[in-house]
Amino acid sequence: MSGFLLFFSKPFDQGNKPIKKTIPVFIKAQQEAFKVSFKHPQNANIAWAMMTGEKFGISPKAKQDFTDLELNFLFSPSGLHLAALLTLLFFLIKKYKRNKLFKMAQWGLLIWALFLPYLAIKRIIFLRLLKMSQSIFKRKFPIEILFLITFGISFMLGHFKESPLSFILSFLYVGTFISLSDKPKIILILGLFSTHLLIAFFNGNEVSLFSIILDLPIISLFVFFLPFVFLYFFTFKLISYNWIEGTVRLFVLIVHWGAKLIHGSFMSSTLFLFLAVWIILLKKKKRYLVLVLILHGNVANSPAFFYAGSYSGAQQRSVDK
C-alpha cells in the first residue's frame, strides 16, 4: 500500500515543497531566551530542533550524521515527541493514576495536542483516543483495525493532500511496528530495512542495514532523555544552571560516532534486494534468495564485461596508466 501511494503521489518530486508549519506563539516566544541559556549555540539549536522541528543553525556536518543514520526524523515532531511530553506530564500527576482525574487529564492533554500543527502527532493522538474509547464502549478491537480507522480519519481530514510524504511515512513505519511488534528483534530489523529500501527505491538514496541496527538503541536513548529536554524548557527560567546541555552534547557525539561506524556500508536499493529481504521474512526457499541477490548485484554493480569494446585502445592505455 505504501509503495502504491509513493508511486502515484510522487512525494519526492522537487516541485513538491513541504508546507511550513508555524509553532505555537507561546513556544516561539521562548526561543531566544532558551538558546541564550546554552554555552554552545550548536547544542541549543539541536535541543530546539528536537522539541519543535525547526532545524535552523545546525551545522551541515551534524545534519549529515543524522541523515546517514536516518535519524533526521528526530527533528520532526511525531509520536516519539508526543510520548516524551506525555511521559513528563503524567509523571508529575502519577499520584492520581488510579483516579478519574488522571483519566480526565489524559483526555484533556490529548485533545489539546490536536491543535498543534504537526500532522504526525495528530495521527498518533487519533490512535490513542481510539484505544482509550474502547473502555467507554465496552468493546475491544484489534490494534490493526484501530490503525486502519486512524489513517482513514486522517485521510478524510485532508492530511494526505496536505502532506503526502508525511502521511505515507507514518502509515509505513507505524504499520511496520504494529505488524511486527510480537516478532523477534531480528525480524523487526529486517522489516524496518525493507521499509528503508522501499523509500530509497523512490527517492534514489542509498541505505545501510547497519544504520538500522544502530538506530534502535539510539532511538531508545532519545526517548529516554527527550522528556528531560522538555522539563528543562519548562523550568530554565526558574533554574539558572543549564543541566541539560551536557546530555544533548553526549547524544550528538553518539550520533557522530555511529555515523562513522557505518561508513562504507551503504548499498543501492533495487527491486531484487527488496525481494531478497521479503524472501527471508516469508521464509521462502533459499534458491530464490540466491537468484534475486545475483540479479541485485547485476543491477547495482554492473560487471566490467558489460562495457567491453566501449573504449578505444588509446583510452584503455590511458586508463591503465
Q: Give the model's confidence band at 17: pLDDT under 50 very low, under 70 low, under 90 confident, else very high.
A: low
Pick from 9-18, 211-220, 283-292 the range whose average pLDDT is largest.
211-220
From the list 101, 125, 103, 104, the residue with the least C-alpha distance to 113 is: 125
The strand pairing partners of 71, in sequence order, are: none
Residue with grid cell 535519524, as numbered in its chain: 71
Give the mean model confidence (pLDDT) for residues 121-128: 92
Cα separation of 285 and 104, whole Å?
Answer: 53
Cα separation of 51 and 254, whole Å?
Answer: 19
Give the mean model confidence (pLDDT) for residues 49-69: 91
Cα separation of 276 and 299, whole Å?
Answer: 14
CB 219, CB 192: distance < 8 Å? no
Cα separation of 188 and 259, whole Å?
Answer: 21
Residue 312 reports pLDDT greater than 60: no
Q: What is the pLDDT of residue 76?
A: 86
Residue with grid cell 509553532, as numbered in its chain: 23
Kind plus residue range of the DSSP H or E element containing 147: helix 143-156
Give pTM, 2 decimals.
0.81
Residue 47 reports pLDDT greater than 50: yes
CB 53, CB 75: distance < 8 Å? yes
Is the C-alpha dihedral spanning 285, 287, 290, 292 positive or negative? negative
Q: Which of 31-45, 107-121, 234-248 has the lowest mean pLDDT?
A: 107-121
Q: Give the model's confidence band at 60: pLDDT under 50 very low, under 70 low, under 90 confident, else very high.
A: very high
Biggest alpha carbon–alpha carbon distance for the chain = 85
Give the Å distances, CA to CA, from 126 to 2, 85, 119, 121. 20, 16, 11, 9
Q: Which of 62-76, 92-106, 211-225 has the lowest mean pLDDT?
A: 92-106
Q: How many C-beta atoms surround the C-beta of residue 118 within 10 A?
A: 20
Residue with grid cell 545475483, as numbered in its chain: 294
Q: Which of 101-115, 161-175, 236-250, 265-279 has the lowest mean pLDDT?
A: 101-115
Q: What is the pLDDT of residue 233?
A: 93
DSSP classification of residue 30: T
Q: Give the model's confidence band at 267: pLDDT under 50 very low, under 70 low, under 90 confident, else very high.
A: confident
Q: Give the model's confidence band at 48: pLDDT under 50 very low, under 70 low, under 90 confident, else very high.
A: very high
